[in-house]
């Protein structure tokens, strides 16, 4: 009997030990999959571009090192990022209230003479050094009409800057400082044509007066036309990013994940959060030497204001009883205004014309027409096919230089 009870106890202990062993085996088997499960829940709310960016973390990052790839990228270019302070003295005319004849008759010589007042306007922005001899890239609006430009480096050194050239159409400017033979740190320029949606975007600058500020985001989209952004007086296809770009960031570099400059921070939408725009660095490469030499950047121009026309837009217009113009229901570009003294006026283009082709290439939107004219260069003879009063007509337009 005692032997039977001992056998029961032994069997029970063996079963419990076996159960514990199986449980530990299952736990250790599942451990490798836990991070994957956790990661899937962690990234569940992220959009495809964000996931692409996470997958695109540079391979050379040492995960054991506490420094992130952002730190490495910023350290690579940070010393070449500068703060730009500007001063401009303006003269405000005397108050016309005191110049009214009525007050002069009433008060006579007792009327105090109000001299013009002077006011000192100060501004601030960012820039980055592209040549060790003191050549700096920034935005044209940062240094626009400045009487004095002061450049401050990351290490606190200050230089008086000279604006060598500005281009309002692309909002780019070159500032030069006298280094007295000293070589300055230089930012590495990347290739904006190789940038893809979802790539990392690191904005560096001095927003709101806070020096050396870094923000992180991704590339949201590419080739966003300036007209779509609400800046019709520019000719740019922006890089759009959700990296925070605030006032004072203008002119600073937008970096990729390895610390190369892929854009120049330039604009934000006041009515939207998380939307910023940068000028592709390849555009700056094209014209920086022209600006540095004080030259004029060529911008071919025919002299029209225009909108994209589609059959749907034309039909909606034509169905409006108050419409002053019946539009052809075709794809093309509608001329809304011909500027006086321009190539378009000389060629005979008129308001209401619909441009269908240029040099036998179909034109379906305003952005395409603009790119076609720019590609031809200043002084290029272009063959326009237009639609006027239901009839097609060919005109030759010689492009001129756009005047800011």
The stretch 236-265 carries a mean pLDDT of: 89
Cite the DSSP H helix spans in 261-328.
281-292, 311-318
CATH number for the domain that contains residue 238? 2.40.10.10
Say yes or no to pLDDT of 59 above 60.
Answer: no
Q: What percent of the chain has pLDDT over 90?
A: 47
Selecting among 171, 199, 242, 353, the annotated active-site residue is 171
Indicate the pTM of the whole model: 0.71
Give the pLDDT of residue 276: 87
Which one from 199, 250, 353, 399 is the annotated catalytic residue? 250
Residue 187 lies in a domain: no
Query: Catalytic site residue 250?
Result: yes
12: part of which helix (H) or strand (E)? helix 2-30
Q: Would the pLDDT of 55 be above 70?
A: no
The number of folded domains in the chain is 4
pLDDT digits (tens, 9 = 90+) for 101-124: 655 665 555 556 666 778 888 888
| pLDDT computed for residue 174 by the predictor | 95
Residue 61 lies in a domain: no
126: enclosing H helix or E strand:
strand 117-131
pLDDT digit string (tens) for 3-30?
444 445 555 555 565 556 555 555 555 5
The answer on 393 and 306 residing in a single domain is yes
Structural domain boundaries enclosing 367? 300-401
pLDDT tens sequence across 138-185: 999 999 889 999 999 988 899 999 999 999 889 999 999 998 888 899
Structure tokens at 134: 């003191």
* 306 and 283 housed in the same domain: no
Question: What mean pLDDT is predicted for residues 333-359?
Answer: 94
Q: What CATH number does the domain containing 365 carry?
A: 2.30.42.10
Confidence (pLDDT) at 35: 46
Catalytic residue from among 85, 126, 141, 167:
141
Concatenate the DSSP letters of all residues of 323-342 into one string.
-S-PPPSSSEEEEEEE-TTS
Give pLDDT, residue 233.
67
Place of tokens 């085996």: 25
Q: Is 141 a catalytic residue?
A: yes
The contacts found for 37-40 with CB under 8 angstroms, 24 or more apart, are: none
Catalytic residue check, 171: yes
Q: What is the pLDDT of residues 377-403, one digit of tens each?
A: 888 999 999 999 999 999 999 998 887
Average pLDDT estimate for 134-140: 94
Residues 87 and 141 occupy one common structural domain:
yes
| Average pLDDT score over the chain | 81
Interval 25-37 mean pLDDT: 49
């Amino acid at each position: 009997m005692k032997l039977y009870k001992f056998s029961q106890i032994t069997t029970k202990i063996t079963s419990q030990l076996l159960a514990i062993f199986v449980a530990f085996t299952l736990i250790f088997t599942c451990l490798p999959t836990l991070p994957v499960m956790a990661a899937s829940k962690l990234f569940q709310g992220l959009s495809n571009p964000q996931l692409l960016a996470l997958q695109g973390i540079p391979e050379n990052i040492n995960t054991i090192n506490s420094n992130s790839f952002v730190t490495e990228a910023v350290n690579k270019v940070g010393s070449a990022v500068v703060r730009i302070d500007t001063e401009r003295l303006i003269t405000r005319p005397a108050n016309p209230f005191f110049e009214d004849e009525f007050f002069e008759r009433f008060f006579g010589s007792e009327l105090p003479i109000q001299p013009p007042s002077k006011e000192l306007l100060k501004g601030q922005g960012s820039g980055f050094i592209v040549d060790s001899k003191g050549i700096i890239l920034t935005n044209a609006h940062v240094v626009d009409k400045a009487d004095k430009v002061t450049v401050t480096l990351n290490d606190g050194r200050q230089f008086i800057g000279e604006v060598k050239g500005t281009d309002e159409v692309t909002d780019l400017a070159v500032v030069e400082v006298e280094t007295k033979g000293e070589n300055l740190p230089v930012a590495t320029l990347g290739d904006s044509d190789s940038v893809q949606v979802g790539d990392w975007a690191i904005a560096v600058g001095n927003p709101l007066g806070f020096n050396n500020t870094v923000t992180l985001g991704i590339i949201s989209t590419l080739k966003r036309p300036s007209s779509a952004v609400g800046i019709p007086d520019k000719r740019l296809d922006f890089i759009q990013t959700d990296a925070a770009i605030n006032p004072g960031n203008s002119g600073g570099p937008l970096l990729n994940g390895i610390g190369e400059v892929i854009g120049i921070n330039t604009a934000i939408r006041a009515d939207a959060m998380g939307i910023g725009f940068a000028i592709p660095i390849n555009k700056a490469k094209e014209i920086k030497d022209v600006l540095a030499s004080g030259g004029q950047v060529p911008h071919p121009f025919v002299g029209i204001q225009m909108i994209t026309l589609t059959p749907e837009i034309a039909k909606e217009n034509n169905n409006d009883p108050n419409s002053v113009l019946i539009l052809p229901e075709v794809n093309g570009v509608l001329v809304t205004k011909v500027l006086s003294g321009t190539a378009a006026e000389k060629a005979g283009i008129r308001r209401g014309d619909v441009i269908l082709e240029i040099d036998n290439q179909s034109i379906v939107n305003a952005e395409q027409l603009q790119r076609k004219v720019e590609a031809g260069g200043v002084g290029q003879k272009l063959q326009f096919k237009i639609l006027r009063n239901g009839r097609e007509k060919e005109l030759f337009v010689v492009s001129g230089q756009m005047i800011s």
